[in-house]
């Protein structure tokens, strides 16, 4: 993959606040492309096909797997989630930075496939607070919340494998930290398209 842009992979347990923090960061940084994932999960109220996700059947998702159309994919709580490869490649080639917001297994697949990708783990301040946030969001049933909490404990056990960790205690502070990581990566010599005349 020709990567003129930087690929940022934002991961962390469901309910940690990845979406909330990213929304703040995306509003304040230029030249970013936010990858729209594919999923077989049912849309939530207010979720729009093609904006929040590309919603599709299991059959369609498996067809795309067979045709190698995903940069990564994983099963999470009984559904498939995956990153469509083509738009990511196109934006990186155009020199845009690309953001993936994905769960742990997918993040580790990207790390293997594209070692230059920058991985960031968004951690909740505590498991108690994570549970409060998952409930407070009000988008899942009790059974799904319990499953997500169990997965969260497994995911957080991998936190040590990440170089960058952003604890989402306060949204503004967490967004500042993530923005700082992204801006710093843009200043890395290998990422700069700059010559001094």
Q: Which does 102 bind (CB under 5 to 8 A by kind): ligand ADP, ligand 5GP, none?
A: ligand 5GP
Widest Cα–Cα separation across the chain:
62
Residues 112-151 that bind ligand ADP (CB under 6 A): 133, 136-137
103 binds ligand 5GP (CB under 6 A): yes
Nearest in space to 153 (alpha carbons), one of 9, 12, 10, 18: 12
SS3 31: coil
Smaller CB separation from ligand 5GP, 136 or 186:
136
Angle at 43 between CA 88 and CA 143, to 5 degrees: 115
Q: Which residues pair with 98 in a beta bridge?
A: 7, 33
- Of the residues 101, 120, 166, 175, which one makes contact with ligand 5GP according to CB under 6 A: 101
CA separation for the pair 70, 81 (Å, rounded):
10
Measured in whole angstroms, how far is the alpha carbon of residue 125 from the centre of its chain? 19
Instruction: Identify the DSSP state of 84.
Output: E
Distances in Å between the Cα of 21 and the Cα atoms of 31, 81, 89, 149, 173 are: 18, 21, 24, 20, 9
Which two structure tokens, joined as six digits, stand for 15? Answer: 């309910």
Q: Which does 124 bind (CB under 5 to 8 A by kind): ligand ADP, ligand 5GP, none?
A: none
Q: Which residues pair with 33 in a beta bridge?
A: 98
- Of the residues 5, 15, 82, 106, which one makes contact with ligand ADP according to CB under 6 A: 15
- How many residues sit close enough to ligand 5GP to count as binding (CB under 6 A)? 15
How many other CB atoms are there within 10 angstroms of residue 126's CB atom? 11
Site string for ligand 5GP, 60-89 (x = CB under 6 A): ------------x-x-x----xxx------
106 binds ligand ADP (CB under 6 A): no
- Of the residues 19, 24, 135, 158, which one makes contact with ligand ADP according to CB under 6 A: 19
Residues 155-184 that bind ligand ADP (CB under 6 A): 168, 170-171
Residues 40-59 that bind ligand ADP (CB under 6 A): none
25 binds ligand ADP (CB under 6 A): no
Residues lying near ligand ADP in the complex (CB under 6 A) are found at 14-20, 133, 136-137, 168, 170-171
């Amino acid at each position: 993959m020709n990567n003129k842009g930087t690929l940022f992979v934002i991961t962390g347990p469901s309910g940690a606040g990845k979406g909330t923090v990213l929304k703040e960061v995306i509003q304040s940084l230029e030249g970013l492309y936010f990858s729209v994932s594919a999923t077989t999960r049912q849309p939530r109220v207010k979720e729009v096909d093609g904006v929040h996700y590309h919603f599709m059947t299991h059959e369609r998702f498996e067809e795309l797997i067979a045709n190698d159309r995903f940069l990564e994919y994983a099963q999470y709580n009984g559904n498939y989630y995956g990153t469509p490869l083509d738009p990511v490649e196109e934006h990186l080639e155009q020199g845009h930075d690309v953001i993936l917001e994905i769960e742990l297994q997918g993040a580790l697949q990207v790390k293997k496939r594209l070692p230059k990708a920058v991985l960031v783990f968004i951690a909740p301040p505590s498991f108690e607070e994570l549970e409060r946030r998952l409930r407070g969001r009000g988008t899942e049933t009790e059974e799904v919340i319990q499953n997500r909490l169990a997965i969260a404990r497994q995911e957080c056990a991998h936190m040590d494998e990440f170089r960058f960790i952003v604890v989402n205690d306060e949204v503004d502070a967490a967004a500042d930290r993530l923005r700082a990581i992204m801006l710093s990566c843009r200043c890395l010599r290998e990422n700069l398209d700059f010559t001094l005349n």
